[in-house]
Structure 1
Amino acid sequence: MTDKRTRQPAPFATIRDVADRAGVSIGTVSRVLNNTSRVHPDKAARVRAAVAELNYVPNIAAQNMRRAATRMVACIVTDIANPLYARLVGSLQRALYDAGYSMVVLSTGNVASRELDALATARRHRFDGIVYLTGWQDRAEVNKAIEDLAIPTVQIERERPTNDCFCVDHATAARQAAQHLAAFGHRRIGLVTPSRGARPSAARIDAFLEFCAETGIADAPDLVREVDGPVDSAFNATFILMRRPEPPTAIITLGSQLLSGVLHYIESEGLSIPADLSIVSIGDNELTRAGTPPITAIDWDFATVGEDAVARLIARIDAARAEGSVLPPPNRTLYPTSLLPRASVAPPRAGPPR
């Protein structure tokens, strides 16, 4: 029979297990693993052999509590499924990895309660820093929670005076798209975009309406459809636009699930791009590049945005740890956009779509 008092093997080896196997103290194991002081070569060899035999993995959480640093950063994003956000999250992760940090992504669905939960998670797990990626920037309770955390934070596509902001020039992006379509003769241009609660959308809508007013495009406000709901809402928004007495001959939309919804509508109606409807995407991704035809896009340097945000965040983390250091004032960086012309734009067809 098995003696119930017999110590059962732990599912994971502990530092005590390593010490017992190597015949040394726990302190000696710690010094070997952390290379903090000289250890007799024979003892060091026994420790390393025990680590290999037991497949020992150090308890990073416990180490971090002692060091008051986790080397972990929280990336709080509204929707990780958005292909544009995915590109940016990828650039953030690469930059953080190169700097010796790991990143945890917390997706909130742009729901205020989930944003607050994500911030509470960052505090609970003692993350060294936060990258706050998009979302509605005027939620007072969320903004207060960010400030109350006292964790170094940078924000992307959110403009708050208390944090560094890294933003794309979406106003110019909307103008570039509208100007490109107008150059082909389009005078009825629809805009399908998320609601203006988010900074990029507000900039995009305002710039589009200004362009329409300057160029005499009539009924521009009625050609803007703000989407704030399920992913199929872009389909519904396009349906409404195309049922107008004078439907648009071109549509500008965001290169996310919204673009998928617009393309779904076009396919369901048997329309052709660009013969029946020209399309410009704000944001480039696999869908725009591999479409039939490829979609004209407005793009920007996602890698530079991510690298700059990470560099600033790490500088703030380091400054916060250094005694007597003075934190630099928050700054705002605006990134330019460029037009990638492809085969999805042509002069408007004479008469209504088929």
Structure 2
Amino acid sequence: MPRKAANRSSIVEVARKAGVSPATVSRAFNQPELLKPATLAHIKAVVRNDGFRPNRVGRSLRAGSTRTIGLLLPTLSNPVFAECFEGAERHAREAGYSVMMATTGYVPEVEAKAVQAFLDHQIDGLILTVGTPVRNAALAMLQAVDMPHMLVYNESGKHPFVSVDNRGAARDMMQDLAALGHRRIAVVTGPLSESDRARRRLAGAREQAAQQGLGEVAHWVMPAHTAASRDILQDALRSPNAPTALFCSNDLLAASTITHLVAMGYAVPRDISVCGFDGTAMGTLMVPPLTSVEQPSRQIGATACAQLLTRLQGGQTRSVRLSHRILQGGTVAAPPTSTRTARSKTP
């Protein structure tokens, strides 16, 4: 078995070498703001030379807090969630907290198992995105044990959350498409049962279409949230009333859709317009850049962490909707004067 380092100093030895009390050394780690800058710098210099590390496990047992936050997200392969993680982790680290991470792949059973594992590790609080917050086993588990938590991206009337107004953002994108002359628009999503965000975006698109007197908004469901099906696209575009614009529920799905359309012989946006939702950096690097609804993912993560820490310090959490904006890329343009050319491109 690995042996404990023999030359690792104790807090008493650090205090002796620094010429201060053990309590002062303890404050240097736990309440550095209480020390004079010169004293703090001197203790840190001694610590660096001796290789001392505070026993955080012991401190956690004494304080009844692990100073660890859980972060549960569907995936990190989607840049949206990766940016959210960065925002939350940085805010937690600056506040003296560590972060435990897990991903679920949008599977409810995995969500519940991951939450149980977090509870077993005695985290202080949890930031999470679930497939849907309605009748969710993971959220019910958190409520049962009164575990402080914040949803990110989900919107809920029963749980505090940080998100954008998904319905309102979809309405804004639809308004822009209508202003360009699009009257036949389809919303492209993954399975709605796995994403309340997609449901809200579809609902917002349909609300705006009805308000502006547009035709019925078609809904094309792909097998996965972030990957389009070429077969579904081909079949749908054979319709005599094929849409002139596709509003995808996220940027990865939009990028996948454009890839298939180009392979099928379409020019985007000359033959058909495509837009996404997220405003990822990846979308701005596409040629042409992706038109998208931008949501501030790093800020979402940081804000959720700040709200959670407020709760851990005895305050009250509140739900927050952050601002979105439309990124005017190059994948959306006025509709073609005739759809005959576009339909003929479908193999």
1:10 pairs with one of 3, 19, 34:
3
The 8 Å contact of residues 88 and 305 in structure 2, kept in 1 or not, is answered as yes
Aligned partner of 2:292 in structure 1 is: 297
What SS does structure 1 have at the residue aligned with 2:341? Answer: coil
In the alignment, is residue 250 of structure 1 matched against residue 250 of structure 2? Answer: no
Aligned partner of 1:44 in structure 2 is: none
In the alignment, is residue 209 of structure 1 matched against residue 201 of structure 2? Answer: no
Q: 1:343 to 1:50 in 2, by over 3 A?
A: closer
| CA apart distance, 1:12 | 4.3
Aligned partner of 1:78 in structure 2 is: 74
What SS does structure 1 have at the residue aligned with 2:256? Answer: helix
| CA apart distance, 1:255 | 3.3
Write out aligned runs for 1:304-343 (5 A). 304-319=299-314, 328=316, 331-343=318-330
| CA apart distance, 1:145 | 0.6
In the alignment, is residue 91 of structure 1 matched against residue 80 of structure 2? Answer: no
Q: 1:116 to 1:218 in 2, by over 3 A?
A: same
Q: 1:160 to 1:9 in 2, by over 3 A?
A: closer
Q: 1:67 to 1:218 in 2, by over 3 A?
A: same
Instruction: Describe the superposition over 1:161-183 as per-residue Cα deviations: whole angstroms up to 9, x where unpaired.
Output: 44322221111211121111111
The 8 Å contact of residues 83 and 255 in structure 1, kept in 2 or not, is answered as no
Matches of 2:167 and 2:272, distance apart in 1: 23
In the alignment, is residue 129 of structure 1 matched against residue 128 of structure 2? Answer: no
Q: 1:87 to 1:128 in 2, by over 3 A?
A: same
The 8 Å contact of residues 67 and 124 in structure 2, kept in 1 or not, is answered as yes
What SS does structure 2 have at the residue aligned with 1:145? Answer: helix
Aligned partner of 2:341 in structure 1 is: 352
Matches of 1:29 and 1:120, distance apart in 2: 41
Matches of 2:170 and 2:12, distance apart in 1: 66
Cα RMSD after superposing both structures:
3.4
Matches of 2:153 and 2:45, distance apart in 1: 50
Matches of 1:12 and 1:112, distance apart in 2: 43
The 8 Å contact of residues 192 and 237 in structure 1, kept in 2 or not, is answered as no
Q: 1:12 to 1:159 in 2, by over 3 A?
A: farther
Aligned partner of 2:61 in structure 1 is: 65
Q: 1:56 to 1:19 in 2, by over 3 A?
A: closer
Identical aligned residues as a percent:
22
Matches of 2:215 and 2:158, distance apart in 1: 40
Which amino acid is 1:286 matched to?
Answer: A
Aligned partner of 1:5 in structure 2 is: none
Aligned partner of 1:3 in structure 2 is: none
What SS does structure 2 have at the residue aligned with 1:204? Answer: helix
Matches of 1:208 and 1:296, distance apart in 2: 16
Q: 1:9 to 1:109 in 2, by over 3 A?
A: closer
Matches of 1:308 and 1:240, distance apart in 2: 43
Write out aligned runs for 1:260-299 (5 A). 260-299=255-294
Instruction: Describe the superposition over 1:263-283 as per-residue Cα deviations: whole angstroms up to 9, x where unpaired.
Output: 221232132111111121111
Aligned partner of 1:185 in structure 2 is: 181
Instruction: Describe the superposition over 1:177-228 as per-residue Cα deviations: whole angstroms up to 9, x where unpaired.
Output: 11111111112212112333333222111111222233333342xx212335
Could you state the TM-score of these two structures normalised by the residue count of structure 2? 0.81
The 8 Å contact of residues 192 and 253 in structure 1, kept in 2 or not, is answered as yes
Number of matched residues? Answer: 328
Aligned partner of 1:39 in structure 2 is: none
What SS does structure 2 have at the residue aligned with 1:218? Answer: coil
Matches of 1:259 and 1:64, distance apart in 2: 46
Which amino acid is 2:318 matched to?
Answer: N
| CA apart distance, 1:97 | 2.1
In the alignment, is residue 34 of structure 1 matched against residue 23 of structure 2? Answer: no
| CA apart distance, 1:160 | 3.8
Deviating 4+ runs (over 6 angstroms)? 19-22, 47-51
Q: 1:154 to 1:231 in 2, by over 3 A?
A: closer
| CA apart distance, 1:257 | 2.8
Could you state the TM-score of these two structures normalised by the residue count of structure 1? 0.80
What SS does structure 1 have at the residue aligned with 2:144? Answer: helix
Matches of 2:13 and 2:94, distance apart in 1: 35
What SS does structure 1 have at the residue aligned with 2:93? Answer: helix
The 8 Å contact of residues 249 and 278 in structure 1, kept in 2 or not, is answered as yes
Q: 1:138 to 1:86 in 2, by over 3 A?
A: same
Q: 1:125 to 1:29 in 2, by over 3 A?
A: farther
Matches of 2:96 and 2:63, distance apart in 1: 15
